[in-house]
Amino acid sequence: MSEPEIAIVGSGPSGFFAAEALLKSDAGVRVDMFDRLPTPYGLVRSGVAPDHQQIKQVVKVFDALATNPKFAFFGNIDIGRDIPLAGLRNRYDAVILAYGASAGTPLPIPGSDLPQSITATDFVGWYNGHPDFAGLEPRFDHECAVVVGHGNVGIDVARILLSDHARLAKTDIADHALEALRESRVRRVHLVGRRGPAQASFTTAELRELLGLPGVRVVIDQDAMQLNEEEQAYLDLPVNAAIKRNVSVMADAIAREAHGEDAKELHLDFLASPMEIEGTDRVRSVRFARNRLEGPADNRKAVPGAEHFAISAGLAISSIGFRGKPLGNAPFDERRGIIPNVAGRVTGEANGSMPLYVAGWIKRGATGVIGTNRADAMETVRTLLSDFREGRWPVKPGRPRTPALLSGSRIDFMDWKRIDAAECLSGREAGRPRRKIVSVAAMLDVARRGEGAVLPSQPVG
């Protein structure tokens, strides 16, 4: 019997962790990984903030894996456009979808379609040099920007907007973002949440970093920090230690002195729901309703009251989560924005279909940190291999070679390494970890021209 061949769609952390679990298993499988971009690593490249280089070190694990002779990377191949999902399923013995949750959630309020009202997904993609968002053109010509959503992405966005330019110039932020932020007039960022300090979904390390940003005065609504007895008792439960740490990091920030006259300001605002983005030609202000919290301490709901207030701003960024997108005729849960599954095996397919698998954000929604995807992918691979052993997907006889399925211009891992080397070389010359190439055409060009290829001249910090 020939060895089972598995296709993985998506080369982000969940895709690579799934490949790792498959290749480490005793099932003797081959793994082909597909990505619609010529560059691998998904959110590690285009989601992790440029000033968080340490987190990006995980790619060393992925690079080591890519040297396995039973692994192949097919970059610049769009499953759905270049190969239909059905074609992939016909060709491979099993398919794991690990293509993430790439759709941002616009604020569900009037005015959210105005120019300069953007989603964090687009903004993060823009500053990280994702080719899809290179043309975004956010404007930093107003002294205030509003970011809605109290999660870690909101923190990343606020930090990038408030960071000293010299600090950003040492990172791998996209050249176009570095250039645009050099001219930024933004001095004040309002990071607004609809619930209270004890309900924010920040992780403590990220919160501490934001509240300690040099040159930034932190302004926190002290009324919202007052906890009643029930709330204090809830925080004192051992299971809520992380929330308690967050609240104490916020209290420490209130107690600190301002950094100086020219300091920028971060306003951490609570209990406010966006009601309308106001403006005619572009964002001029964001109007909020003042909320109160109702319900038990472990399930507080935000209830908007009659009091409204507006924040004058030139940029409104919605950071209220991500959704997955459907692919081909795979089942899709519209409400949750995921592919429905049990332990990674897709549910809701027509009777008699070969099983299909999912891993990462398209499996569970946009939650967790990069490492969370390892356990998640291992669960999927356990399900897949147990299905194999039970004969749910027999190995197919007489398959065509994969390149025969491909119509686009394929990038293999060595091609990517040439792009990588060119970006790092150009970055080194500018005192930065890398200078990202942001157009697919330029990536393909560099991949073909070789390691010493010089990037097109772009302005740097």
Binding positions for ligand NAP, rule: CB under 6 A: 108, 148-154, 156, 193-195, 199, 201, 203, 206, 273, 319-322, 366-369
User: Cα torsion at 318, 324, 329, 335 (round to 10°)?
Assistant: -70
Minimum CB distance to ligand NAP smaller for 194 or for 432: 194
Amino acid at 383: T
Q: Would you say 154 or 360 has its CB closer to ligand NAP?
A: 154
Q: Choose between 54 and 457: whose C-beta lies nearer to ligand NAP.
A: 54
Q: How far is the CB of 276 from ligand NAP (least distance, A)?
A: 13
Q: Which is nearer to ligand NAP, 14 or 426 (CB)?
A: 14
Sign of CA dihedral 173, 175, 177, 183: positive
- Biggest distance spanned by C-alpha atoms of the chain: 74
Which of 266, 308, 302, 278 shows the shortest CA–CA distance to 290?
A: 308
Which residue lies nearer to ligand NAP by CB, 365 or 408? 365
How far is it, in rounded angstroms, from Cα 22 to Cα 30? 8
Buried b / exposed e over 247-270, threshold 16 CB at 10 Å, is bebbeebeeeeeeeeebbbbbbbb
CB atoms inside a 10 Å sphere around CB 91: 19
Report the nearest approach of ligand NAP to the CB of residue 368 (Å): 5
Closer by beta carbon to ligand NAP, 86 or else 369:
369
Question: Where do the DSSP E strands lie in 331-448?
Answer: 341-342, 345-346, 357-358
Residue position matching structure tokens 């291992």: 378
How far, in Å, CA of 124 to CA of 41, rounded?
15
Three-state SS at 373: helix
Residues 193, 198, 204, 208: is their CA dihedral positive or negative?
positive
Where is 207: in which H helix or E strand?
helix 204-211
As measured in angstroms, the least distance from the Cβ of 293 to ligand NAP is 10
Considering the complex, state which of residue 49 and residue 440 has its C-beta at the smaller distance from ligand NAP: 49
Q: How far is the CB of 192 from ligand NAP (least distance, A)?
A: 8
Q: Which tokens sit at 64?
A: 């080591």
The CB-nearest residue to ligand NAP is 151
Nearer Cβ to ligand NAP (138/360): 360
Smaller CB distance to ligand NAP: residue 56 or 264?
Answer: 56
In angstroms, what is the minimal distance from the CB of 260 to ligand NAP? 28
The three-point CA angle 378-384-385 to 5° equals 90
Least distance from C-beta 154 to ligand NAP, angstroms? 6
In this structure, are residues 46 and 35 in contact, taking their beta carbons and an 8 Å threshold? no
Nearer to ligand NAP, 324 or 355 (CB): 324
Work out how close the CB of 270 gets to ligand NAP at its nearest, in angstroms, rounded to a whole number: 10
Question: What are φ and ψ of residue 284, in 5° steps?
Answer: -115, -35
Helices (H), ranges, 143-265 = 152-162, 165-168, 175-182, 204-211, 222-225, 229-236, 241-255
List 190's β-bridge partners, or say none: 146, 267
To the nearest whole angstrom, how small is the minimum distance from the Cβ of residue 153 to ligand NAP?
3
Q: How far is the CB of 160 from ligand NAP (least distance, A)?
A: 12
Instruction: Please say which residue, 277 or 366, places its beta carbon nearer to ligand NAP.
Output: 366
Q: How far is the CB of 96 from ligand NAP (least distance, A)?
A: 21
Rounded to a whole number of angstroms, the minimum distance from the CB of residue 271 to ligand NAP is 10
Query: Considering only CA atoms, which of 104, 105, 107 is closest in space to residue 277?
Result: 107
Q: What CA–CA distance (Å, rounded) separates 296 from 231?
A: 9
Q: Return the SS3 of 72.
A: strand
